[in-house]
Amino acid sequence: MMTTLAGPLPKLVVFDLDYTLWPLWVDTHIDPPLKRRGTTLNEMVDRSGQRLSFYADVPSILFDLRRAGVPIAAASRTSAPRIARQALQGLWIVDSAVGEAAQPVPAHDLFVHQEIYPGSKVSHFRRIADATGVEFADMLFFDDEHRNAEVQSKLGVHFVEVGTQGLDRATFQRGLEAWQKKRRTNAKST
């Protein structure tokens, strides 16, 4: 489903990975190595047959952002960064809005920057800001863990907690609209 993103848009959207973009923790649920089966899209399988794929709405959200010219980054505190990167390389997705002409791409190619290692999300975001030049107030962040809301209180990154269903279209839209509202409010007060 293609959605046209309207209104002011963040200069960078950042996503956590585990239980935000996919329904598991790669450091506890995956028994490496991860492999693709043939040309299967949006799915990898580990040594024991555990499947890894994005939540249903994630590929279209990533491509909507790409079409709108909004860069995407990843911020994950996983203790298995190699597996997380392997997943982003191996999960091939297509822009269904393009139709049959769509060419599969590794999800990794949609991310302009990745901070994937154990540690504070505040540290992740400082490095993301340094690498991209994007100010914290111009970032929108989706994560499943409330403790990571510290990036909002400490840095000013707009934080959106995703529910147990992971990132879906409604949560994404709600987060984008909240960021836009905050942006308008801040513009009026300056």
**Complete domains list, the chain, with CATH:** 12-189 (3.40.50.1000)
What is the residue whose two structure tokens read 């249903």? 56
Exposure class string for 29-61: b at 16+ Cβ within 10 A, else e = bbeeebebeeeeebebbbeeeeebbbbebbbbb
Report if pTM > 0.85.
Answer: yes
Tell me, what DSSP letter sits at residue 18? B
**Do residues 93 and 61 lie in contact, with contact meaning Cβ atoms separated by under 8 Å?**
no
What would the two tokens of residue 93 be? Answer: 């997705």
| Rounded distance between C-alpha atoms, residue 26 and residue 86, angstroms | 10
pLDDT, tens digit (0-9, with 9 covering 90-100), for 2-51: 566 888 999 999 999 999 999 999 999 999 999 999 889 999 999 999 99
Half-sphere exposure of 78 (CA within 13 A, CB side): 30
Each residue of 79-114: pLDDT tens digit?
999 999 999 999 999 998 887 778 999 999 999 999
Query: Would you please indicate which residues are annotated as catalytic (active-site) residues?
Result: 16, 18
